[in-house]
Amino acid sequence: MARKKKKEPTHVFEVNVSKLSISQEKYVDQMIQFISENLKEAKAAKDGNHVSVTVPETITKKMFKLRINRFLYQSGLKNDFRLISMLNEGKQGYMIMER
């Protein structure tokens, strides 16, 4: 009989992009694409003003934050937006706010 593969433990990070989506919606889609390309085995899904990203447990919160900051820098948004940590009902995540 075949053995079942064990699922790798994962983290779910939430990113509140409500302030970013007000200015331009295209940056939200670019951020989702950037995260999917730069974090291995990451699955990003947009739900209104939130982006939920499921990553393996080996990726820490700090590594995730660095990737989002890198996206802001490469998109030329670093001077307009900043990343703030958010605790929301036990979920880990960040909020992108205007400077």
pLDDT tens for each residue of 13-56 = 999 998 887 778 889 999 999 999 998 889 999 988 899 999 99
Reply yes or no on whether the pLDDT at 89 is more than 70.
no
| Structural fold of domain 10-98 | Gyrase A; domain 2 (3.30.1360)
Any idea where the domains of the chain sit in the sequence?
10-98
**How confident is the model at residue 91, as a pLDDT?**
76
**In percent, how much of the chain has pLDDT > 90?**
53
Using alpha carbons, select from 53, 86, 83 the residue that is nearest to residue 66. 83
Q: What pLDDT score was predicted for residue 69? A: 95
Q: How far apart are the first and last CA of the chain?
A: 58
Per-residue pLDDT band for 88 (boundaries 50, 70, 90) equals low
pLDDT at 8 over 80: no
What is the reported pLDDT for 48?
87
pLDDT of residue 1: 61
- The per-residue pLDDT for 52 is 93
Q: Dihedral of the CA atoms 18, 21, 22, 24 (nearest 10)?
A: 170
